[in-house]
Structure 1
């Protein structure tokens, strides 16, 4: 190939109207706000970057009240956490400590959780 000449290569697929965007995360937005007694919460444990994260949910609360509850629980437990997609995430394995605190707030759990 000599200098000054360009290669005319087209690599890739043509995206027409037949293609759809694939979403990787399913989120459901619930507009119904439930009282704490009507919640049916459950625990889930995940490993993220080698650390254990405790998930509890799904909460049907207003965002402000959920953030206030999260802040109060994090302070009592002495850990970090976040509220994402209706679930509260806590750093560490805290199921045994977290359950009585949520019961005191009036929340109910699914059987065997």
Structure 2
């Protein structure tokens, strides 16, 4: 681009021509399973320098998942959250989480 030339930012689309942005639905096929039908996976991550233990993916209703999460947080004495079918626990506590979930009837992949 030489000196003195103006930059044109027109892309050729007009808002008046009926152009609209369509929202994508990312709704996943969701079936509620009983605890013994789950095949959970444990993962460890670092977030902001801290260890986080991830367990999932759960096929529970939102209410049931929150009840399980509350029970686990109390028994493990740690913080955590339920996001997008995964439970996140603060700290590197994978063996404790594994034992606690097995007591509740959940199963894990080998």
Answer yes or no: is the 8 Å Cα contact 1:30–1:60 preserved in 2. Answer: no
Partner of 1:91: 90
Per-residue deviation, 1:16: 3.9
Scaled by the length of structure 2, what TM-score is found? 0.77
Counterpart residue number, 1:103 = 102
Alignment of 1:28-39 (within 5 A): 29-39=28-38
Count of residues in correspondence between the two structures? 99
- 1:14 has 2:15 as partner: no
User: 1:28, CA displacement in angstroms?
Assistant: 5.6
Give the structure-1-normalised TM-score: 0.76
CA RMSD of aligned residues (A): 2.8
* Displaced runs of 4 or more, over 6 A: none
Query: Pairwise mapping of residues 58-97 of structure 1 onto structure 2 (< 5 A)?
Result: 58-97=57-96
SS class of match (1:76)? helix
* Distance change >3 Å, CA 39–CA 10, structure 1 → 2: same
Alignment of 1:52-63 (within 5 A): 52-63=51-62
Structure 2 CA distance for aligned equivalents of residues 108 and 100 of structure 1: 10
Residue of structure 1 in register with 2:48 after alignment: 49
Instruction: Please report how far the alpha carbon of residue 47 of structure 1 lies from its aligned counterpart in structure 2 after TM superposition.
Output: 0.4
